[in-house]
Structure 1
Amino acid sequence: MDTTTRPATDGAWTQGDRAKAAAQLMLGWVALLWVIEAVDFATGHALDWYGILPRDADGLGGILTAPFLHFGFGHVAANSVPLLVFGFVAALSGIRHFLAVSALIILADGIGIWLIAPPNTMTAGASGLIFGLFGYLVVRGFVERRALGIAVGVVIAAIWGGSFFLGILPTNTEVSWQGHLCGLAAGVVTALYFRRPAPRPPALLS
């Protein structure tokens, strides 16, 4: 029985390369949120008006800008760690794949907020994307039938599941539970949409 080892393709990324790129991307992403909030603070919160205005045509543009805006430094601080962690884990599968996943979550979450959020409100913040990435990571391993992905999803659910469940309850009027709920649903749907084929067992050679 003979086997051969296939040489690595020139330019192929190693797991270390992927981890470094994922870390750089998410550190830069979170840093950008802080810079935007600093600009918002310096301009007297002029950027707050670029959030999502429910069922208002002028608020449709906020679907794309709202995830990058926050209502104060405490707000962006609360979102920084979970975004950094979930984004890093999700981006380990590939930067382009992660960006596509994030774009779909942002779009679906924003449309959901625009449709169901209470009137005369303004919604902004990265929490919708965070809830989406949470749902995506928890479900992805199961739909792809990958042991590592399942383990990651179980760990994430065990650590953050309780607080995320509370975040989607309509009794919590201090946050946009609509944005959290829409983000979570978007993440689950995204995991189903972007699912990769389950790994096949290696062929037996003789």
Structure 2
Amino acid sequence: MRLRQNKPWADDYIKENHHIIIDEPFVNKGKWKEAFGNDQPLHIEIGSGKGKFIQGMAEQFPEVSFVGMERVKAVIVMALKKVKEHELPNARLLHENANDVREMFEENEVDQIYLNFSDPWPKNRHEKRRLTYHTFLEQYQSILKPEGRLVMKTDNRHLFEYSLVSFSQFGCVLEEVTMDLHSLDDETNVMTEYEEKFSEQGYPIYRCVVRFPS
């Protein structure tokens, strides 16, 4: 489970760093290149946790602009600390719920989406909450450019298998399906906090890369 304890200093810290955590992301819809002040590709991570992934990606790929979304305040301030301390001009954060990303990103505005270790919502009655349920896929398809990709990583085999079926039923092309990511020795792979934890415990990490139907 994600860290959720109260941090009394969180509100003030977020206000002090509103240039990193965007106050009104809806205003930037269709204008994210202007917000970053460049013409770089735009990648977003839905569920950024404590920010290890977005920090690592922004450092490894300075030619890409990254936006991380996280709804839990006590968690996003940890990501904020990483982005600020590492002085990453190509990273921004949103303290927002990703119920409908179309409210924050314009059609065909995003080049790539990352879903890292999303909540599996294992009970059948919670299926609609899974971030690979078809209503979410409709949103991703809308904001992604035609050549855009979705990259998913998880340690949860049930969620992974469910997602592969969901992608296929939606008409997506599965460009990569990996059942043991770390066996590939992919030097470009940036691990999240959860990924490090589960990998150290011996769990395989699953990854897929998806292209949506045109």
Which structure is richer in relative contact order (CA contacts within 8 A, separation 6 or more)? 1
Give 1 or 2 for the bigger CA radius of gyration.
Answer: 1
* Structure richer in strand, relative to its length: 2
- TM-score of the superposition, structure 1-length normalised? 0.32
